[in-house]
Amino acid sequence: MNSGNSVTNKHAMEKKTNIKPLKNHIKLSRLNFALGIMSLTLFIIIFMLFKKTDIAVLCLPSAFFYFALAIATRHELELARKICVGLGVLMIFGFPVGTIVAMYFYLPYTVWDKSNSESAQA
């Protein structure tokens, strides 16, 4: 009886682990969207609470930039990938938080697997 249960459990585990991992361009798009939300939140906090319009105005364009970059990376545009590499390099100098975000979350996702998208177009 134990062998029947182990076979059933094995098939159940195979079905659970059949989830495909997200592609790098989708992960990078989500990260850019999160950075856009963070910039928008900073704009709201600085503008509403502290009434510092000169500083708050800087946060709003960066939020729209990150949202546009999130859309571009979702569509796998090569220009968006190059911009993300440049931003990742600039983030490295923002020690310690920028370095962590750039090295572990940003730069590794700028390598996109084009083999699946090219074979789908052919």
Structure tokens at 56: 């708050």
* Diameter of the chain measured on Cα atoms: 73
At 21-70, the pLDDT tens digits run 789 999 999 999 999 999 999 988 888 888 888 877 888 899 999 999 99
Angle of helix 53-74 relative to helix 78-92, nearest 10 degrees, comes to 130
All residues at 6 or more sequence positions from 74 whose CB lies less than 8 Å from its CB, including other chains:
25, 26, 29
- Length of the chain (residues): 122
pTM: 0.74
Domain locations in the chain as residue ranges: 23-110
All residues at 6 or more sequence positions from 79 whose CB lies less than 8 Å from its CB, including other chains:
72
